[in-house]
Every structure is written in structure tokens, then in C-alpha cells.
Structure 1
């Protein structure tokens, strides 16, 4: 075969090699991001000091700690049950407030539904701002403004959740097929009708999955909020660790795991109904123009009305009533004067090195977490898993990893590696969380990919590996890129969790100044982290646009 002959022995007409695809922005982004991500990840791992030897040594200490914690106990089961209900009420109420606000912001922020550049800029600013401020900072602020109780926890969870929920809702709206909206517009429908009939129905399955997933996250977040007066099961876990009662702490953690797994089961069932995961039942004959009642439609309506009832009860139980919300807003506005202006003096000398340490830990954890989450997420997807048993095991592993409280993970790794190796311990803890986060989103996205490209690749005689690389990962690239960058800014904001146990200098300083009620210094620490998260968000937005 001479030079210029095509693979397979064919030569194009004229004897010339086929021209290379043009160098487009999409090709540059598709190649540049994974290369840059891998290079920065390796550099961050070396900067943090993670090596195979340290991981092996830490494993022995971790096993010893788990042995001391076995068997788990629950000293007051009745109180634990009540506190679980309190935490669930706070979680559902906060998530409901976030979903209501995020749905409006997503419509304003999405390119295909925004009324104009000003509205889009405003919505994106709110979403990024809510995501950049740690939930524990929101909790400290609302406790300072409103006092101890569940309402500060509800507002903290709600405001912080707008960041993640709004971002993913926006991506779901932008991913809607424009053809359906155009078809609705062709009937003479106005903008509102096009939105309600042509765009939102396509985004609903993703929105429901994000909502249920956020409930998982918020339930785990309540463990931290208990440390600042929000109450619930988090207060019990903090007390158990304060008395070094690891058996009790493990028992409470098992309760948290069970609740999150139950929510995961509900999430899988609802997603199966909404995206056609199960076999549809035979439709009864249609009479007139009335839509027939099928089993799936009945379950969907029952789930919707049941969910609404749970939300109403949770709002009432947690004190987030229509009369309490305006009063809370007024009290919060008056408390803003305690946080501004920022006071950089006490932390100016450690701010630069501390921010560099935060970035290194977050990048290393994200790199490890994305690698593990991609592999585990593909095994958990119905469309990719080689066997249903493999998918079930992968889903169970993701649910377990996601259900372990962040604080418990950090404490476990700090106990394993020692306080002197705090950055290594923090990186490993965040990496495990990132595996569960990215794996969950990859599994959901892989189950929603269009079947047409995959069928075309399979029909051409491609192997399983070729089908995975071309038809599956090819469609997942934009969402995987966005998820990786979102995981990075989540890990950037986790510095406070690490600082509680000395796993990060800036986080430790933040926790100390919070205890001293020096809120101006708290603002001075949060603002630079907000700036870094904003840069990551801008890079994510550019990449999403380039990969469309």
C-alpha cells in the first residue's frame, strides 16, 4: 500500500489523501480540556504529596480506627428517630425553596429561553453567588440574624442549593430540542406557551433527578449545619465525635446511609417513569380527546401530589411558613452590616499560600474523583453496564459513598494519615465524594443519551470498546466536561469542612474567626474563594458553548 492510500486499501479519486477536518473551536476544546485537566491533576497530586506508599500506610490506620468503632450503637433510638424527622423536614423544605427559585432562574439564564442579556447576566450572577458561598457560612449568617432553630438551616440549605440546582436546571433547559419548541411556535403559540409545552417537558426528567439528588446532598449537609445551631441529626453526630464515642457516631452514620439509600430508591423509580426506563403498559382505547389513565400516569400523579404534601408538611414543621419568611428576610438584611466591610488584616499573610493549597487540594481531588466516577458511573448506567448485577452493585456503591457525611470522611482520613498530613487526608476525602457525585451524574447522563448514534455505530460492526468511545463518550463529553468543572468548584468550596479538623489552613482560619464572631474576617476569606469559583464558572460556560 503506497503513501496516501486509505485504510482498507482504497484510494480517493485523484490519488490525494482526504483532507483533515477543519480546526474548529469545538475540536480545540474537545482535545485541550482533557489534556489540560490531566496535566493540572498530576501537578496537583505532586503538590499535595499523595503517593502510593502513603495511601498504603494510611489504610492500616484507617482499618484500626474502624475496628475500634465496631459495633455501632444507638443509645437513644427514639430521640434519633425524631431528629431524623427534623432533619428530613429541614432538608425537604430547603430543597423545595431552592427548586422554586432555581426553576425561574434557569429559564432566565438558559440561552434558548432568556428574555435578554441583562436577565441572563442577573440570573447567572445569582446562581454563581449562591454556589460560591459555603452553606455553613449561610448557616452562620442566618443563626446570627434569626437565632438558633431549624429556620436558619432551611434558609441556608435553600440559598446554597440554588447554586447547584440552578446550574443543572439551566443545562437541562439548554439541552432541550429546539425543533419541538419551533413546532409549538408554528401553531401560533406565544412565548409562555412555547416554554410550557415545548421546552420544560423535555427538561422535567433531569429536573426531577437533580431535585432528588439535591435532597441526598442536603441531608448530608445537615450534619455540618448541626454544628452551628441548626439542630437535627447533625447535632447528635457532632456530640458523639466531641466525646470520641466512635461507636455511637458510626451508628448515627448508618442511619444517615439508610435514609439516603431510601431516597435513591425513590429517585430511580421516578426517573424510570419519566424517561421510559420501564416497559410501558398497554394503553386502553382513547375515548374522545381525554388522555387515558394508565398505571404509569396514575403513579406519576400520586408521586407529584404526595411530594407536594410532603413539602407543605416540611415547611410547616421547620417553621418556614409564609409569615416567617418575610420576617427572616428583614432580620437578615439588618445582620449584613456585621459582615461588611471585609477585614483582611488578620488573614492577609496566609491568604496567598492558603488559596494555593485550596486549589491544589481541590484539583487533585477532582482529578482522582472524575477518573473513578467516570468508570463507576458507566458501570451504573443501564445502557452501558455489561450485566444488571454489575449495574446494581455500581449503583449501590455510588449510593453508599454519597451517603457518608463529608465531616465523617474527613475525620476518618485525618485519623488514618495524621494531622500533619491534613492536605493528603482532605484530598482523599474529597476524592471519594467526587467519585459519588460524578458517577451519579455520568450514570444518569449515559441512560439519557440518544440511541440513534449508538445503533449506527453498532450496525457498522464496531466492537464494544469502539461503541463506548464513539457513541457513548462522544455524546457525554459536553456534560462530563461541565460536571468535572462543577465538581472542581464544589471541592474549592469544601475548604471549610477540611479546616474544621486542621486539613487546610484557610478553612481552619475561617472556623476560628467564625467562633470568635469576627464576621468581617469571614467575608475577607470567602471573597477570594468566590473569585476563584467565578473563574471556574466562566471557563465552564465557555467550554459548554464550544462543545455544543
Structure 2
């Protein structure tokens, strides 16, 4: 009896001891690996150019701690006036956000359409609104219609279109095409496909973006207050001008309270709408009615409540149809003051100023992403190891995000000194970027699909492999978009830095705004607009590859 010899499996095969077969290097895989490597290299190079080192960070941390000690305990010399100004600012933020939501909804749908010309035109408007700082919009509308709350509302509204339009369009692009096809299969037209097949899916993301923009616009009042728009921002600027740090801390805590309230509403609505979106993801059979569940009732109450709140806000700020018509006609007249741009007074500083602006933006975004991504994952219910970690991370995220941008810059400049202005500006924007990235990452992680994670775990993967393969694998397109969005936000923050001398280009812009040199203002803003446009083009290309 002969023994049949069994052929040994080849080395390197599934049962061999060699290397496992490698996944092919597709364009998506190359982009997923290449982007973080390139971005990290640019961020490190930017920090080196700015002189941001470990030793300086340690010394600066001590100075920041000493400054914060002098600002405690907080005080409010006139609480009633501060609260009244906070309420005025809140109505201005609500009106601006409502105006932006209406415009961004239309532009977001057009930007996600299949028509190349329509999509390009909509994206161009969105990028233009995002690239122009809100304070430049405010200066433009003051020149068009005079001083008052309406220029601030229009400035916040148009600038917010840049963020909301981008996020709205990306939410539509990431929506499940199968649901749309199912709705189309019932004989629905384009409008019905949009209303029944797309909007229920994107509603949670849209609501989260709107509420997030609302607290950004509330904090943005600090910047508008720095150029005389009034409200609680003017109170904060006055307190810092007199180096009354305890008073400034008290005013800042009022803004924190408002942001916390908005965050609480956002978390509640988001939880309800996620349930409504899942319940409404499959279209009902023709002839049947969708039941009035608690989630659906919450969605309708939130929608109608938002309409009432917006109507009250428009009334409080005087944004009547007649006033908006006057603003439109005045804007046409004001264009002559801003165009053509006058490059002569700033020709010598544009090149170096743009390099400094780009270095600050890259360095701040790199540091912010390093801190913001893990913070956002820890704040997401679907990823956090337990509720204690999630609540602590969420509280830290909200606390960082509630600090006004200008206040961060003032604190770091006071700690590091004007001679280290770019370093102070980079660190201030890094804190802001960490909060921004953490918020968006946490919202995206809440919508992760369970299927890929369960598949990875069933294959014997550990927690680390689940995080890198199933969680970060799903989040990769959104992480790229979020990082690049934080970059273009930081590029546009050059004016905030310039107010306190922390950036050459921003300082020049603030000086020419005060001098009413509107054509020179345009000349400074245009190159930054080109930078933001380039970042948007890279972001769109990467999203297309990674999708």
C-alpha cells in the first residue's frame, strides 16, 4: 500500500509562511495613504518656518496660564446690559443663519447635480462666499446701506453660504443612491426624488451643519464687534482694550453658555432626526401613509419652530423685504468703490504675506487635526469606549468651540508677545481647528454603518484593527474633506490675526479697512480667494477619488 503524498501549498499562499498577498494600489488607496503623508510633511515644514518648537510651546503655556490666572474670577459690571447685547447678537446670528440656509439649500442641490455647467457655477458661488471674510462683507454692506444690524446679518448670511453650501452638497453626494432609485422606480419626478429620496437621508447632517453654523455666527459677532458692529462683541473688545481681563472672561462665559444651549438643542435634534431618517429611508408603498412616530413629529416641530424663530429674528434686525431691496440696489452702487482692485499700495507685501498666511494655516491645521481627530472619535457615541469618555470628550469639544476666535488670538498674543505674533496666531488657530475638526469628525462618526465593523470583528480583528480598517476606512473621504475645510477656514482667518498684529497681510487689511481704501481691500482679498479656490479644487478631486 502506497501512501499518497500530498503536495505542500506554495510559499506565500494562505497556508504558507510567506507574505500575504497585497491589495492592489488603486487610485483610492494611493490617495488615502498619500494625502496624510503629504499634508503632515507640509504641516511640519510650515511649523519649522514659523519657528514653532517644543521649547517655545512649553514657555508659552506658562505665560498663558499666568494670563488666565489674572483673568479669574470673572466679573460682569452690568449683567443686564451684557445679556441684552447677547440677545441682540443672537437674533443677528439667527437671521444670518436663516438667510444662509435658504441660499445654501438651493446652491447645495445645484452643486451636487449632474450638469457640469450648473455644478461648476454653484460651486463657484459657494467658494466665493467662503473665501471672502465676513468682515469684508460687512464693510461692503456698510458702504452700501450704512451702519446698522442689517449689514452684519447680510455679512454673516453670505459668508455662511460658503460653509453650508459645501456641507449640504457633500451630504447629498454621500447619500445612498439606492434609496433615490427606489423612489424613482415608483414613477416619482425629479422634485419628488429630491424630497422623498434625498432630503430624509441628509436631514440629520443638514440640521447639524445649520446649528453648528449658528454658534459659529454667534461667536463671529466678536469679530464684527471689533470693527464696530456692536453687540456683545463690542463689549468684549472694550474689556480687552482696557485690559480688564476678568470682565472679558465674564463676557466670554456668556457666549459659552449660549453655545452650550445651541449644542444641547443640536444633539437632541440630531438624535431624533437620525431615527426619523432611518424610519423614512424606505419609501412607503403607494396609497399608504407614513405613521406619525415621535421622530417624525420631532422633525416637523423642529422645522416649523425654526421658521418661527427665523421670522422673529428677521423682524428684530429689521430685515424687511423693502430693506433687503434697498440693500440690493445699494450693493450695485457700492461695487464701484471695490472694483477695480488697486494693487499698488500692497504690491511689496503680497508675496511674503501670502507665504506667511499659508504657513500659519498649514501649521495650525496640522496641529488641529492631530488633536481634533482623536477627540472627535472619542466624542462619537458609535466609537467611544463608554459614556464617560464620550461625555468628557464632548464637553471639551464644546468648551473649545465656544471660545471666540478673536479671544483666542488675544490670549496667545498677550502670552507670547507681538514679536512672536505668527507663532501666537498659529497656536490660537490650532485650538480653533481642533474644535472644528473634532465637531465634524464626531458628527460623521455617529453615522458609521455597523456592517463593515461587524465584518472586521467577525474575522478576528482586535479593537485597533477595527478602528483603523472599519472606522477610519469609512471616514477617510470625510476626514480629507474636513481637514481641507479647516485649512481654508484658517487661510481666511488672516484678518483675525491682523487685528492684533499677528499677521502681516491681515494687519494691512485692517489698516486699509479703517482708511476706507476699498479698492485696496479687494486687492488683498483676491489672492487669498485664489488660494481657497485651489484648496477647494484639491478637495473636490480627492473626494471624487475616495468616494
TM-score by length of 1: 0.94
| Cα distance change, pair 412–7 in 1 and its aligned pair in 2 (3 A) | farther
Deviation at 1:164, TM superposition (A): 0.5
1:158 aligns with 2:160: no
- State the alpha-carbon separation in 1 of the partners of residues 462 and 422 from structure 2: 42
| Cα distance change, pair 84–463 in 1 and its aligned pair in 2 (3 A) | same
State the Cα deviation string for residues 466-511 of structure 1 (Å, max 9, x = none). Answer: 1001100000000000110111010000000001111100000100
TM-score by length of 2: 0.95
Unaligned runs of 5+ in 2: 1-7, 280-286
Q: Note the aligned Cα RMSD (angstroms).
A: 1.9
Deviation at 1:228, TM superposition (A): 2.5
Aligned to 2:66: 64
1:4 aligns with 2:23: no
Aligned to 1:335: 334
* Paired residue secondary structure (1:293): coil
Aligned to 1:442: 441
Instruction: Give the stretch that moved more between structures: 288-297 or 171-180.
Output: 288-297
| Cα distance change, pair 278–183 in 1 and its aligned pair in 2 (3 A) | closer
* Paired residue secondary structure (1:72): coil
- State the alpha-carbon separation in 2 of the partners of residues 27 and 365 from structure 1: 26
- State the alpha-carbon separation in 2 of the partners of residues 403 and 36 from structure 1: 31
Deviation at 1:322, TM superposition (A): 1.7
Aligned to 1:174: 173
State the Cα deviation string for residues 212-261 of structure 1 (Å, max 9, x = none). Answer: 00001111001111122322111111111122211111110000001001
Q: Kindly indicate whether the alpha-carbon contact (under 8 Å) linking 1:145 and 1:331 is maintained by their aligned counterparts in 2.
A: yes
Unaligned runs of 5+ in 1: 12-16, 281-287
Aligned to 1:78: 80
Deviation at 1:103, TM superposition (A): 0.6
Aligned to 1:122: 121
Q: Kindly indicate whether the alpha-carbon contact (under 8 Å) linking 2:75 and 2:250 is maintained by their aligned counterparts in 1.
A: yes
State the Cα deviation string for residues 72-101 of structure 1 (Å, max 9, x = none). Answer: 111111111111111110001000110110
| Cα distance change, pair 269–492 in 1 and its aligned pair in 2 (3 A) | same
* Paired residue secondary structure (2:321): coil
Q: Number of residue pairs matched?
A: 534
- State the alpha-carbon separation in 1 of the partners of residues 298 and 194 from structure 2: 25
- State the alpha-carbon separation in 2 of the partners of residues 55 and 241 from structure 1: 24
Aligned to 1:234: 233
- State the alpha-carbon separation in 1 of the partners of residues 289 and 162 from structure 2: 40
Deviation at 1:147, TM superposition (A): 1.5
Aligned to 2:526: 527
Aligned to 1:187: 186
State the Cα deviation string for residues 496-541 of structure 1 (Å, max 9, x = none). Answer: 0001111100000100111011111111100000011111110000
Q: Kindly indicate whether the alpha-carbon contact (under 8 Å) linking 1:373 and 1:438 is maintained by their aligned counterparts in 2.
A: yes
Aligned to 2:284: none
* Paired residue secondary structure (2:436): helix
Aligned to 1:36: 38
Deviation at 1:144, TM superposition (A): 1.8
State the Cα deviation string for residues 134-165 of structure 1 (Å, max 9, x = none). Answer: 11111111112221111001000000000000
Deviation at 1:453, TM superposition (A): 0.4
* Paired residue secondary structure (1:276): helix
Aligned to 1:509: 508
